[in-house]
Chain A
Amino acid sequence: MNVKLPPTISGLHQELAQGHLDYPTVVAHQREQFHRLGQRLETVTHYLPVDVNRGFDKNKPLSGVGLAHKDIFDLPGRSPGLGRGADREQRQEKDRFIPAAPTHTVPKHSAPAIQALQQAGALNLGALAMAEDACAATGQTAQLPSALNPLGKHLAVGGSSSGSAVAVAAGMVYGSLGTDTAGSVRIPAMTCGVMGLKTTHGLISTQGVTPLSPSLDSVGLLARSVQDLACLFGALAKDRPIDAGASQPRTAYWLKGVSLNDNIRAVVEPILLAYGSASLDLSTHEHRATVLQQVIMVRETGLIHSDRILSGRACRQVVDLGTVGLAAPVHWLKEALRIRTRCARAFIEYAFASADVLLLPLQVASLPRADEVYTGAANFEPRKLLALHRYCGWLNYLGLPALALPVGFDAEGLPVSIQLVARPFHEHHLLAVGQKMQQDLLGTNGIAPVCHIQE
């Protein structure tokens, strides 16, 4: 099918509205592309039927826009796959020594977040690969094929929303929903060189989304341009603005005491200095919030998955985290939650006293190869795996919105990303600064689709 789709959602809407593109052709092309690349990149876990004849609706901003989402969201008649293979469930069933919790009931409806996008006209093409139970910084899976990075087969895909980043980067979809508990939207976005927005904790409903650590989980979005993120965000958070109006938000940056490899610093430092108006030292806040995030995450993961851990059905990452959580003193979780408001208030009063958006490190080293960060691989280096989420989890503890943004390329030509952070419910500030930086550094349309993996 010889169709060239516009690079952005608003471009597609315009072309359809003006009659330059035909709705059934657009839908059929996206579906064909999704199937073809989905198989090549091992990134689709479930294909959904799409009504080609529904017709374009000019009043719906996402009419005809092909999306697909992490396999953690409820779909009508289908429980999330969660990156689990059927094998483990079946194999372990006869070996169980503790009765498991009742099976998750089959949902009747899509998760509200998916419903909101569909009400705006978006198509849901399928469910996407993810790290098992959303509990890993890479997309490595034990029971299912691991999604491949369209930038190069040898490169790791970050997790846990791995399939979302792959599908967006390869141009299989305009955007995708993921979830972020300790970086699970921002890390895959970073490794595939696309944008990833972790929203304010509680802003987007997590109903119909399988939890990992409910106090930290947030729904997030991935796209190839900031304006596409804004379109999707507008459909999800109807009561929130998507632009900052006439005033450009004030900025500050954090570099002091930050650990970045030299090749990343060479790209990031000039950009932070150019776009950040003031320097802040956030080390103490980051240090405390990182530890408190870990305390909450291990405990809540243990509680959420206790049946699966005790019955031997949980994946290795859930066992590793959750077992520690179940053995941790019970009062740790209570205290970590009790002082959370105080920590968030102290951080916000300091960091946002004279800035609206913070420019912060996200990527500390060049993108790793899969065999360096996938556990059990020949050249596995725990240090490189830890580096993937070094500066992520603390922002989940503080509940703040964060935007992963590619800002340049390292000496090997691989993308380098930073993250922008705003006050709670101020995603419009992130989008405004992100749009300006994208325009300057990447061009009007953001990232072009790429797939270096041949059939």
Chain B
Amino acid sequence: MASDRTPPIEQHLTDQQQRRVDKSLARLQSALDAAGLDLTPTPSETAAPIKKQEKEEKEEKNTFEQYLATFR
């Protein structure tokens, strides 16, 4: 997959596109709230270097696949 650290998309958007994106993000945030989900990272995670975050994401993906594999 492409790097997770893409340049900010905002600079490429027209005002109209930006409004549409803001609306979609607000709708997703509302859906998260309604489902009782808080995707805010803990402070230590926020401070983690990018390399470490990428490693953790890979490990989390592996954990899910390992969990599924227990049903094989």
Contact = CB atoms under 8 A, between A and B. Distances in A.
A331 B57 contact: no
Contact of A211 (B1, B9, B13, B25): B1
A280 interface: no
Q: Using C-beta atoms within 8 Å of the partner chain, give the interface range for chain A.
A: 35 or more
Contacts of B2: 101, 303-304, 306-307
Q: Using C-beta atoms within 8 Å of the partner chain, give the interface range for chain B.
A: 35 or more
B12 A344 contact: no
B37 A291 contact: yes
Interface string B50-62: 0001001100110
Given A287-B34, A337-B60, A303 B6 contact: yes
Contact of B35 (A200, A214, A287): A287
Contacts of A338: 60
Interface in B1-55: 1-6, 9-10, 12-13, 17, 20-21, 24-25, 28, 31-32, 34-37, 39-41, 45-46, 53
A288 B28 contact: no
Contacts of A89: none
B32 A424 contact: no
A324 interface: yes
A334 B56 contact: yes
Contact of B71 (A306, A334, A426): A426
A300 B1 contact: yes
Contact of A291 (B6, B12, B32): B32
B71 A294 contact: no
Given A323-B9, A323-B13, A202 B4 contact: no
Interface string A330-357: 1111111110110011000000000000
A320 B32 CA distance: 19
Contacts, number: 111
B50 to A, nearest CB: 10
Given A332-B39, A334-B53, A399-B64, A424 B34 contact: no
Contact of A215 (B9, B34, B41, B61): B61
Interface of A: 101, 200-202, 211, 214-215, 287-288, 290-292, 294-295, 298, 300, 302-304, 306-307, 309-310, 320, 323-324, 326-338, 340-341, 344-345, 399, 423-426
21 contacts: A201-B68, A202-B65, A287-B35, A288-B35, A288-B37, A290-B31, A295-B39, A304-B2, A307-B2, A310-B12, A323-B17, A327-B13, A327-B21, A327-B25, A331-B39, A334-B41, A334-B53, A335-B41, A340-B64, A341-B60, A344-B68
Given A294-B28, A335-B40, A337-B57, 20 more contacts: A202-B65, A290-B31, A291-B34, A295-B28, A295-B39, A300-B1, A302-B9, A310-B12, A323-B21, A326-B6, A334-B41, A334-B45, A337-B60, A338-B60, A340-B60, A341-B63, A341-B64, A345-B67, A399-B64, A423-B71
